[in-house]
Structure 1
Amino acid sequence: MPAEETDVVVVGGGNAGFSAAHAAAERGRRVLLLEKGEPDQAGGNSYYTAGAFRVAHDGLAGITGLLDHDDRHAHTVLAPYPAEEFAADLAAVTGGRNDPALSAALIDDSQDVLRWLHGKGLRFRLMYERQAYPDARGRQVFWGGLTVGSTGGGRGLVEQHTAAARDAGVVLRHGVRVTDLVVEHGRVTGVAWAGGTVRAESVVLAAGGFEANPDLRATHLGEAWRHARVRGTPLNTGDLLVAALAAGAARHGDWRTCHSVAWDAWYPGNESNRALTNQLTRGGYPLGIVVNNRGERFLDEGRDFRNYTYAEYGARILEQPGGVAFQLFDATTRPMLRAEEYDMPGASVVVGQTLADLAAGAGINPTALAATVAAFNDSIDRSVPLDIAVRDGRSASADPPKSHWAIPLERPPYHAFPVTCGITFTFGGLRADVHGRVLDESGAPLPGLYVCGEMLGGLFSGNYPGGSGLTAGAVFGRRAGRLA
């Protein structure tokens, strides 16, 4: 039986894969998108996200045309986020290890690619519930460079991408686990799986990293990473990364680190939960303190806004005894926490009228916890006003110090939210140029092969500025699809 033929085959049905498919279809190419998941598993990691996109912009007026109408816009403070600030943030969180050419392409295209998607029917909104706090005048003040999200979150993003792809004539096929690349005379000419082969002029890989593969996690990240909880799709097992390397693709980026967050430790269904998706994240730690079961603090909870630190704190939690820690809040700070995370039905929490009660319920050393809280409270510079919408400099000189938003724990009841390490995606991937063409070890393109999304290495290392992943998937997906 002869192999099926098409112009472009895209492997992976998340945000990046769909963006590549849209761009190729625009050029009149016959596009086949192969998705590993069945329809009730589809969407890759994109489905599990909050739908956040980090984009350069010059303030609310410049992006209003992208957004669903919201009466709150009239009472919103949204500072410009210029390209220079985006670049500085990306360099800062990665320690300067981000690929400069890829980073420039990401930033330059960031707003334009959303306008392009918006033109295809995708909808966007301001993320008030995640990225804004009220100020004294009742205005909503956005912080941390992240403002825009997909209407309907990750689920809405995937649904809208799917509708746009079908409207454009893209053929979608679910339940296809592609395992191999077809290579003929040095050119990639198709893909293969158990029971099938497709020949194509171009192959675009958008199949995610290896975060759902415990063996590859242990090999590249370290043995302790076998015990991380998989936040997103269980289908990102690295098959196509292995196949591309075997075909001569070069590695790029940081294969030793990943995106990992504070994640509900005790919730019974805390892996790949399609019903709750991102709600199991616990991102309120800048307003409280975090301790391990020895009652010790081990990080600066207020080093920066959450979306500049959250992607590295999962790894710090994994280093603690049992891979578990506890976020602590009191009656002052508990009402400030995001409802979608901390008020979700079944959220794991221990409540105590005293710190001793809290320690007993959570399994924390009570003597050490009391000493830790007392030292923290006593070290706060209370002469600095608290302002949670800015980097306020209200610090605590405890060990370790807390740089901003130091609020004493002194009003019962006390709350302890148990958290563990939730892995999102791996940072190491394939080497490619700014158009998504996969390169070999000599730096030459591998004919017929493109990459985008989490399989593209070089953008992130050690940490990650929130919302950059979906933007990168769309930017490099579109770039790959425009050549494929």
Structure 2
Amino acid sequence: MNRLESDAVVIGAGIAGMVTALRLSELGIKTLVLEQGEAEKYPCNTRMAGGAFHVAHQDVMDDPELILQAINKRTQGSARPDLVEALAGGIAEATRWLQKKGVRFIKVGHEPYRKHTLAPPIRIHGRDYWEGRGGDVLLRTLAGEFQRNGGQIARGTRALRLGMQGASCVGLEAVRGPETLQVGAQAVVICDGGFHSNLDLLREFISPAPEKLKQRNAQTGLGDGLSMAREVGAQLVGLDRFYGHVLARDALHNDDLWPFPMMDFVCAAGIVVDRSARRFLDEGLGGVTMANAIAAQPDPLCATAIFDAAIWNGPGREYLIPANPTLTSAGGTLYTADSLDGLAGQLGMPAAQLESTVAQYNAAVSDGLATELVPKRSTAAYRAHPIGTPPYHAVQLCAGITYTMGGIAVDSFGRVLDTANRPIPGLYAAGCATGGLEGGGRDQIAYIGGLTRSTVFGLRAADDIASLAR
């Protein structure tokens, strides 16, 4: 067993890991990064991200109080107040720090949350849509600066367990090929993302049948950091929710149908039914919440979107990479019939029940009573469109999971907390390995933004480690 020594060791080389490592290195802290991917362009969610820098869909340069209010509104006050304040108050300066390191942003689209998008923006076609773009360029930029500061990235190296001395973390054990490494450090920072690709953990916390979810990610989120932290007594929070979108079921076997097109806008305009042709979720809460509801079903492949020509040619054409025509041009299946009876026949659904479900929905929409449907159909964020303009359409659905929202409990400095809310000395976490910010809310899943929270808390963790070292 080989032994290495470093002031700090960071697990994972996505945005959270590289921000933490670069900040540590510029503060004079000798830092080693462990990355399980072996390739130069190792897969990770940062590299594949759309690149929009926002907090709760607010621009990162908005007034901190406005951002704070947006977070609290979206989370319905469920997020830890210290984390909310740190994120809202720190994101503008964190973005400026990235810009000073050579990371470029560009405005893409008219929406406020796209005012700061990683440049160059992703392509809208092809499996290599990310290569040489946003997140890919960001990681290479940060890694270059880190290595110029004397930092080291050990690729092909997977952390196995934390090293504890009493109640303090003093390093970790890792494996690189056949070689076992013992790494001593004054601080360990867990930045290896969520557990979205670990089927056992997904089955424990997210879905009874995780194999029926589409991995809308780099498939590297194995939850190693979360598992290691749990072994040494760390507190875990909010593990039952994830960020993702509704996809066509064909995405399970057709890679041209993920991460786009999303079926969110079509579903939010029409209805989503199960195999019995009955609605089972609130379509008006948006794609992230619908994806979670679908994943939680006993059979996550039970869902089908029902809509008409007006929806397909209206909301179906929304977004940069719209469902219409991307779904069919990429080989996805769009069921079409001149009647609901005919559509039900193609789907193997009871025709009378589908007609009844649509009729009840249309009557509620016409009378302005959609919110009184069972289940409720919210209308505050997405308009409920009537389904009455032939031809009628259907798309069979699946939940696409991008990253898990819950994880290791941390304070506003990224210090990992034990089950008594006490910091575990020497142990930190940042990014999507952590919980306490996203996911909360009574009904609607609260998406805040993975890139931005990774940046802010990576910087805060590094600053705290450096202050203790001094």
TM-score surpassing 0.5? Answer: yes
Counterpart residue identity of residue 263, structure 1 = L
Counterpart residue identity of residue 409, structure 1 = I
Q: How many residues align?
A: 433
- Distance in structure 2 (CA, Å) of the matches to 1:40 and 1:318: 34
What RMSD, in angstroms, separates the aligned Cα atoms of the two structures?
Answer: 3.0
In the alignment, is the contact (CA less than 8 A) between 1:49 and 1:278 conserved in 2? no
Pick aligned residue for 2:339 from 343, 354, 358:
354
Residue 377 of structure 2 corresponds to: 401
Distance 1:199 1:482, change over 3 A: same
Q: Offset at 1:218?
A: 2.2
- Distance in structure 1 (CA, Å) of the matches to 2:42 and 2:258: 13
Distance 1:476 1:43, change over 3 A: farther
- Distance in structure 2 (CA, Å) of the matches to 1:109 and 1:460: 17
Please say if 1:436 is aligned against 2:414.
yes
Q: Offset at 1:473?
A: 0.7
Gaps of 5+ in 1: 64-80, 129-139, 304-308, 383-392
Correspondence 1:258-407 to 2 at 5 A: 258-269=242-253, 278-284=259-265, 285-303=267-285, 309-320=286-297, 322-323=299-300, 324-336=302-314, 337=316, 338=319, 340-342=321-323, 343-344=326-327, 345-381=330-366, 398-399=373-374, 400-403=376-379, 404-407=382-385
- Distance in structure 2 (CA, Å) of the matches to 1:124 and 1:217: 34
Pick aligned residue for 2:240 from 256, 260, 273:
256
Pick aligned residue for 2:388 from 395, 399, 410:
410
Residue 46 of structure 2 corresponds to: 46
In the alignment, is the contact (CA less than 8 A) between 1:51 and 1:150 conserved in 2? yes
Identity of aligned residues (%): 30
In the alignment, is the contact (CA less than 8 A) between 1:394 and 1:406 conserved in 2? no
Please say if 1:450 is aligned against 2:415.
no
Distance 1:435 1:321, change over 3 A: closer
Residue 34 of structure 1 corresponds to: 34
Q: Offset at 1:419?
A: 1.3
Q: Offset at 1:450?
A: 1.2
SS at match of 1:347: coil
SS at match of 1:182: strand
Describe the superposition over 1:400-436 as per-residue Cα deviations: whole angstroms up to 9, x where unpaired: 3342412222223333222122233333322222111
Pick aligned residue for 2:159 from 156, 164, 178:
178
Please say if 1:103 is aligned against 2:84.
yes
Residue 127 of structure 2 corresponds to: none
- Distance in structure 2 (CA, Å) of the matches to 1:444 and 1:186: 11
Distance 1:204 1:365, change over 3 A: same
Gaps of 5+ in 2: 123-129, 466-470
Counterpart residue identity of residue 390, structure 2 = P
SS at match of 1:178: strand
TM-score by length of 1: 0.79
SS at match of 2:303: strand
Residue 4 of structure 1 corresponds to: 4
- Distance in structure 1 (CA, Å) of the matches to 2:64 and 2:173: 41
Distance 1:114 1:478, change over 3 A: same
Describe the superposition over 1:176-233 as per-residue Cα deviations: whole angstroms up to 9, x where unpaired: 1211122235432322223223333322110122222222222234534454332213
- Distance in structure 1 (CA, Å) of the matches to 2:369 and 2:99: 40
Q: Offset at 1:41?
A: 7.0
In the alignment, is the contact (CA less than 8 A) between 2:366 and 2:386 conserved in 1? no
Pick aligned residue for 2:226 from 226, 238, 241:
241
SS at match of 2:185: strand
In the alignment, is the contact (CA less than 8 A) between 1:292 and 1:321 conserved in 2? no
SS at match of 1:10: strand
Residue 19 of structure 1 corresponds to: 19
Q: Offset at 1:452?
A: 0.3
